[in-house]
Amino acid sequence: MKLLEEVPLSDITVKELCEGANISRATFYRYFKSVEDMIPQIEKELLFEFSGVMNRGKNISDIAAVIRDVSFTVYERREYLSRVMRTVPDILFHGKLREVLKRIFISEIKIRMPDAGTIKTDSVAEYCVGGLLSLYEKWISTDFYGQALTVGEFADSAAVLVLSTINSVCPEEKTD
């Protein structure tokens, strides 16, 4: 996948891919019919990279930490993600990353509001995930990196937006 950091997927030939991976064309064609058939594998590798970060989400403070860690990973992989998104623009919105983030948010909402119905829980989580992924997409596809905002400030702002939404819909129960 190192080649993707230099060239968009749509411009990579099977020959270049095989040379970069040091495999034969026969080996490539054993697993894929075309370069585009690699998209699920690319998504799987991206998810693996993010999975350690996202599996930590157990409570509201962990959600902020997850968003921060994901943001730093997005920043570190911005060139790669930018190239992948040129070929597969909705990889963040319809992929496994979305599903995992949504599960983390749903688990927090259920902790806060155990009696909330599935529609409410799903709707709030969907709203939070969609907003967060939209921010990442904008951040990756524009020069947010060249702005005065640091990665930490971006991550903190994203976490505030997500947590504000969850807090407004599912306030933490007060204990006396």
Percent of the chain exceeding pLDDT 70 equals 84
What's the whole-model pTM score? Answer: 0.75
C-alpha span between 31 and 95 (Å, rounded): 21
Q: Confirm if 60 and 160 have CB atoms less than 8 A apart.
A: no
Question: Which of the 8 DSSP states describes residue 88?
Answer: S
55 found inside a domain: yes
pLDDT at 176 over 50: no
Q: Is residue 174 part of a domain?
A: no
Sequence letter at residue 118: T
**Mean pLDDT, rounded, for 76-102:** 78
- Please identify which residue in the block is written with the tokens 């688990």: 107
Whether residue 140 is contained in a domain is answered as yes
Distance CA 17, CA 133 (A): 29
**Residues belonging to the chain:** 176
**What is d(CA 44, CA 112) in angstroms, rounded to the nearest whole number?**
31
pLDDT in tens, 53-64: 666 544 444 788
Q: What is the mean pLDDT of residues 127-151?
A: 80
Distance, in Å, from the CA atom of 102 to the CA atom of 166, rounded to the nearest integer, reads 12
Identify whether 83 is part of a domain. Answer: yes
Is residue 78 domain-resident?
yes
Which tokens in the block code for residue 33? 């019919």
22: alpha, beta or left? (left if phi > 0; alpha if psi -120 to 50):
left
- Three-class DSSP category at 24: coil
Instruction: Tell me, yes or no, whether 92 lies in a domain.
Output: yes
The pLDDT, as a whole number, for residue 3 is 73
State how far the Cα of 70 lies from the Cα of 55, in Å rounded to an integer.
Answer: 11
Q: Specify if 48 maps to a domain.
A: yes
What is the span of the domain harbouring residue 44? Answer: 38-169
CA-CA distance, 28 to 14, in Å (whole number)?
8
Neighbour tally for 6: CB within 10 Å? 13
Q: Please give the tally of structural domains in the chain.
A: 1
In this predicted model, what pLDDT tens digit does every residue of 23-73 receive, in sequence order? 999 999 999 898 888 877 777 777 777 776 666 544 444 788 888 888 888
Residue 56 lies in a domain: yes
